[in-house]
A and B are shown apart, each in its own frame.
Chain A
Amino acid sequence: MAQLEKIQCPSCGAPLEWDGRYGQSVTCSYCGSVFLPAASAADDVWLMTDPVARARYEFNNTLDKLEHDIRFEVLRGGKWSAQDRTYLEEIARLEKAGLVRRLASFWAISPHPPVYRALADGEFHIGGQKLPFRKGQEIVWACPMTRDRFDLPLPVLIADFQGARVQKLCGEMVNAMQGRMS
């Protein structure tokens, strides 16, 4: 039997159970409304990927490798977290406010998120915290492996980045595997 997922009725907000099958309508047992569950942002494997990076893999016929890497090395077989989605909302807010600008660059490691540059001093609001940034610093979404690597409590990295020549999959990061080599 398929594992049931928790979803909310779009009409009344009631909690419902869903078998995860798209294309089949669901009837709300509270208000009776009928709706078709759509793929949410949490399901979109390309949510964090700069379209230019994706186009590179597509051109080289290696898009399936990137998708597999994102699905299993980045997402660990799961979905984007609420904090990941908060990152996107916050970066969109800062961009709209003219505090950051999207660069013509993406992060060298998959899922290759776009890199932003701060146009003024400000704060990045996420997870109930306010992370300060200075004008000229760069901001990028940080995958769980990057967070482990740099001891980041939240999925955002703010620093002065360097140019990178080598494009890597997440599974190729130095800490993708660990061992005791004594």
Chain B
Amino acid sequence: MNIFKRFFGTPQYISQTDTTGDSPNPDPNDVWAFTDPDARDTYEQKGQLRELEQDIRFEVMRGEPWQPEELEYKQEIRRLLREETIRDKGTYWYTSPFPTVYRAAKNGSLTIGGQTISFKRGDDIVFQCRMTRDMKPELTAPVLVDRLQPTNKSQFCGNMGGAMKGMGGKM
């Protein structure tokens, strides 16, 4: 089932999500707060849960609690799920922490850090980590609104191109 979810992302398959309409307020220290449970299961089955946890705790969270705007994203997703403005797309983002991808059932918006991000019916909505935001300055909040494509590649945050910096071949 996880393979179907990962590759096809179709909602016909029963899937789990990182947030639900009745989720409690997010815990700033919960390392799994932004991980799709199906992704976590996949890594557990592969015997790589320890590596994933290390990656999330240090490369994604930078050894600190989740930032206020990241927690705000989760609260907004909870609100939108309750309002049935978005639903589980049945897939997750290809980079850790492997957050759930949501699909807009109707036009709407999220407000994070006083900034309003609008989306249209059919758009995909997914959490974006700090490293991705550093690499894509056009992302002004921890969220990507786009029409996403399936991929069979997955990677840890610490393996992203922006995890380390240098001067190219001069070093």
Which chain A residues have a beta carbon within 8 Å of chain B's beta carbons?
Answer: 51-52, 55-56, 59, 103-109, 112, 115, 117, 138, 140, 146, 149-150, 157, 159, 161-165, 167-168, 173-174
Asked if B26 is an interface residue, CB under 8 A from chain A, the answer is no
Interface segment out of the listed B9-17, B57-65, B108-116: B57-65
For chain B, the bracket of interface size reads 20 to 34
Taking CB as reference atom, which chain B residue is nearest A52?
B58
User: With A149-B171, A168-B171 as given contacts, are A106 and B164 in contact (CB-CB < 8 Å)?
Assistant: yes
Q: Given A55-B63, A104-B129, A104-B131, A163 and B58 touching (CB < 8 A)?
A: no
Cβ contacts under 8 Å, B63 to chain A: 51-52, 55
CB proximity of A112 to chain B, nearest CB, Å: 8
B165 touches A162 (CB 8 A): yes
Asked whether, in the complex, the Cβ of B170 is within 8 Å of the Cβ of A164, the reply is: no
Interface string of B36-60 (1 = CB under 8 A from A): 0000000000000000001001110
Chain B 117-171 residues near chain A, CB threshold 8 A: 129-131, 133-134, 158, 161-168, 170-171
Q: Which residues of A contact B130 (CB under 8 A)?
A: 104
Give min CB distance, B160 to chain A, whole Å: 8
Minimum-distance CB pairs A-B, first 8: A164-B166, A163-B161, A161-B165, A104-B130, A108-B164, A104-B131, A108-B166, A55-B58
Of the candidates A59, A163, A168, which one forms a contact with B162 in the assembled complex, judged by CB atoms under 8 Å apart? A163
Partner of B164, one of A105, A159, A173, A174: A105
Provided the pairs A52-B58, A52-B59, A52-B62 are in contact, do residues A106 and B158 lie with their beta carbons within 8 angstroms?
Answer: no
Residues of B within 8 A of A163 (CB): 161-166
Task: Output the nearest chain B residue to A146 by Cβ-Cβ distance.
Answer: B171
A-B CB contact pairs (8 Å), 24 listed: A51-B58, A51-B62, A52-B58, A52-B59, A52-B62, A52-B63, A55-B57, A59-B54, A103-B134, A103-B162, A104-B129, A105-B162, A106-B165, A107-B166, A108-B165, A109-B166, A146-B171, A159-B167, A161-B165, A161-B166, A161-B167, A162-B165, A162-B168, A165-B164
Inter-chain pairs besides A159-B167, A164-B166, A168-B171, 5 sampled, C-beta below 8 Å: A103-B134, A107-B164, A150-B167, A161-B167, A173-B171
Whether B165 contacts A107 by the Cβ 8 Å rule is yes
How near does chain B come to A133, taking the closest CB pair, in angstroms?
Answer: 15
Residues of B within 8 A of A106 (CB): 163-165
Query: Is the beta-carbon distance between B171 and A109 smaller than 8 angstroms?
Result: yes
Give B7-40 as 1s and 0s: 1 = Cβ < 8 Å from A's Cβ atoms.
Answer: 0000000000000000000000000000000000
Residues of A near B62 (CB, < 8 A) are 51-52, 104
